[in-house]
Chains A and B, each alone.
Chain A
Amino acid sequence: MINFSFLTGRIDKKRLFMVVLALLLILNIGRLSLGYYQNQKEEVENRIDLLNQYRKAVVMQPQLKKRVAQLEKRSEQIDRYLFSGSSVEEISSAMQILLQNKVADAGLEPESIRPMRKGANVKPGEIADLVIKMRLVGTLDEFVDFLANLYRSSELIKIETFSLKPYKGGLKISLDVKGFYHLAQPDS
């Protein structure tokens, strides 16, 4: 163990104590100042990082505008696949009219065309579907004509299930078709 008594014997203890206190004070002030400076510097560096991110985002803006424009165009195009109306009843009616016309155009005889309503509430803007059950009578050629007509339709009407049975020299046709729609946003 080191003996410091030779030092304490020579140096005035009060002065030594004061010097030590002064040094500690200076060191503490230095440490606090350095800590404050480091914090400030770190904060500035964080802001620089943020600014760089902002710059990158701004540089990407023209590309993003172009992409959004393309998507809006595409969205407009595929929105045409959907039925649109102010209420489910209105849409159901429009679907039935469309199908009735296509059945008549193909020369098929409709026995029944009726919608299967769902209970869930549909919010404006959401995509929902409506199943329509069809019972038809006709020939295979008339059915194929109907299908061709249906496939050409601008609205998406999906055949969920079907069955064909011979009936009085022709066919008895059962079809479940599904149409898709979204309710129009109410005018504010």
Chain B
Amino acid sequence: MKDVIEIIFKKNGSAWIHPQQGEDLLIEVAGKGLGKQLAAFCVERGLGITSLILYLDEDLLYFKKFQLPLKTANLKEAVGYQLSLLAPFAEPCLHSFTAVRKTEAYDVLLYAIQAGQVESMVEDLLAGGFQVTAVFPESQRYVSGKLKKTKWALLLGDQSPKMLSFEGNQLQDRVLCRTGPSFEDVITFSGAEIVFSSGRPEDDRFQQLNTIEKTGGKQFNLLPASYRRPDFFRMILIVLVVLNILAAISVAGIKGYQVWSRSKSIEAEITSILPQVKETEALRVREKSLEKSITRIENLGRNFDLIRFLEKLTTVLPKTAYLDQIRMDKKTGAIHIQGFTENISMLTKKLQKLGDTTLKSTRRRKNKTYFHVEISRK
């Protein structure tokens, strides 16, 4: 649902468009008092709307299409200069233009109107308690998003209509026709695929204006800057974007600073603790070295207790046994005993007390048994 009232200003009055019903209510208002009448109209219809969009009849507007060189440094200044040369007004005027860069030059479309004419309308409406948001040429009212990729034309006015050719949302040209042109003339001149007409032509190939799904154009706003309401939505949007960016930067900055400060404090602590760490490392190295050295010495081994062995051997050896040799094997550490006895079985039995005894050899000679016994050390 629209929350603005559209007003089309014509030479002989103005048409108010009801925001819900869409009806065009043509009211002829001469001189002052438009604002008050509109206020009364709103009260009568129960409309609590104060925003207005004004559309100016193409007959009220001066239009010019011209070209400017591509090297033009400041288009606004150049258009202003051209306007001062071309405009048929003596007094100050309001203007709005579009410039499309082409291969050879800028195509400039210019609308202009005497400033006093618009200002008096706006003042009158402001006095009625309304807020004018924009002032457009009437053709902008019929711009449709549905025709975005289409070349189309618009015939406004009955007696000497104005033919406006569009490509999508972009106005291409406006031509003043002496008489109502034929459909073929319009197609040939504008290259349009669809032609809309405000009148009631006999040729049914013209389409009625009320068949356009109007979305409204945004070009050629002729409302004086002093009356323009600040675009709060845009401002809020910009502020929000800026705040978001600042918040994102702040978050990133805070996170970065936290990491940086933590890193710095850790580095400081590492630096302070490092001498002690080096000392500890040196102690560890010393510990390993000492352990290794001690282990090596301890692994050298102990002496076999030969005294105890000889003592035991003397004790356990039968009195009938005689020894020729006692020898310790260098490799195995086993003790080899060689001698002779009268009773070998008693000898071996007794020698078992000294360790694992192995009888290596025996030999009988002269009524004696010569033996070779090995006693392994446990």
A112 at the interface (CB under 8 A from B): no
Nearest neighbor of B275 in chain A, beta-carbon distance: A58
Nearest neighbor of B270 in chain A, beta-carbon distance: A51
- Can you give 27 contacting A-B residue pairs, CB < 8 Å? A9-B148, A40-B260, A44-B262, A44-B266, A47-B266, A47-B270, A51-B269, A51-B273, A54-B270, A54-B276, A57-B281, A58-B280, A61-B283, A64-B283, A74-B290, A78-B298, A79-B297, A144-B310, A147-B307, A156-B300, A159-B306, A159-B328, A160-B330, A161-B330, A162-B326, A176-B330, A180-B297
Stretch from A65-73, A99-107, A113-121 at the B interface: A65-73
Q: Are B259 and A40 in contact (CB under 8 A)?
A: yes
- Which residues of A (60-113) have their CB < 8 Å from a CB of B? 60-61, 64-65, 67-68, 71-72, 74-75, 78-79, 81-82
Measured in the bound complex, the distance between the Cα atoms of B300 and A158 in whole Å is: 9
Nearest neighbor of A33 in chain B, beta-carbon distance: B252
Chain A residues within CB distance 8 Å of chain B: 9-10, 33, 37, 40-41, 43-44, 47-48, 50-51, 54-55, 57-58, 60-61, 64-65, 67-68, 71-72, 74-75, 78-79, 81-82, 127, 140, 144, 147-148, 150-151, 156-166, 176, 180
B236 at the interface (CB under 8 A from A): no
Nearest neighbor of A148 in chain B, beta-carbon distance: B307
Q: Are A163 and B327 in contact (CB under 8 A)?
A: yes
Measured in the bound complex, the distance between the Cα atoms of B265 and A163 in whole Å is: 74
Nearest neighbor of B291 in chain A, beta-carbon distance: A71
B286 at the interface (CB under 8 A from A): yes
**A67 and B256 in contact (CB under 8 A), knowing A51-B266, A54-B277, A159-B306?**
no
B302-320 vs A, CB cutoff 8 Å, 1 = contact: the mask equals 1110110010000000000
Measured in the bound complex, the distance between the Cα atoms of B267 and A106 in whole Å is: 70
Q: Are A64 and B330 in contact (CB under 8 A)?
A: no
Chain B interface residue count, CB cutoff 8 Å, equals: 48
Nearest neighbor of B287 in chain A, beta-carbon distance: A68
B103 at the interface (CB under 8 A from A): no
Which residues of chain A have C-beta atoms less than 8 A from B328's C-beta?
159, 161-163
What's the nearest-Cβ distance from chain A to residue B208, in Å?
A: 25
Measured in the bound complex, the distance between the Cα atoms of B323 and A166 in whole Å is: 8
Q: Are A54 and B273 in contact (CB under 8 A)?
A: yes
Nearest neighbor of A11 in chain B, beta-carbon distance: B148
Which residues of chain B have C-beta atoms less than 8 A from A78's C-beta?
294, 297-298
Nearest neighbor of B149 in chain A, beta-carbon distance: A9
SS of A interface (majority): helix
Which residues of chain A have C-beta atoms less than 8 A from B280's C-beta?
57-58, 60-61, 64
Nearest neighbor of A73 in chain B, beta-carbon distance: B290
Which residues of chain A have C-beta atoms less than 8 A from B266's C-beta?
44, 47-48, 51
**A151 and B287 in contact (CB under 8 A), knowing A37-B259, A58-B277, A61-B279?**
no
Q: Are B327 and A75 in contact (CB under 8 A)?
A: no
B353 at the interface (CB under 8 A from A): no
Measured in the bound complex, the distance between the Cα atoms of B326 and A135 in whole Å is: 15
What's the nearest-Cβ distance from chain A to residue B29, in Å?
A: 39
B274 at the interface (CB under 8 A from A): yes
B255 at the interface (CB under 8 A from A): yes
Q: Are A159 and B303 in contact (CB under 8 A)?
A: yes
Which residues of chain B have C-beta atoms less than 8 A from A176's C-beta?
330
Measured in the bound complex, the distance between the Cα atoms of B205 and A66 in whole Å is: 110
Which residues of chain A have C-beta atoms less than 8 A from B262's C-beta?
44
B325 at the interface (CB under 8 A from A): yes
Measured in the bound complex, the distance between the Cα atoms of B302 and A156 in whole Å is: 8
Which residues of chain B have C-beta atoms less than 8 A from A180's C-beta?
297, 300
Which residues of chain B have C-beta atoms less than 8 A from A57's C-beta?
276-277, 280-281
Which residues of chain A have C-beta atoms less than 8 A from B259's C-beta?
37, 40-41, 44
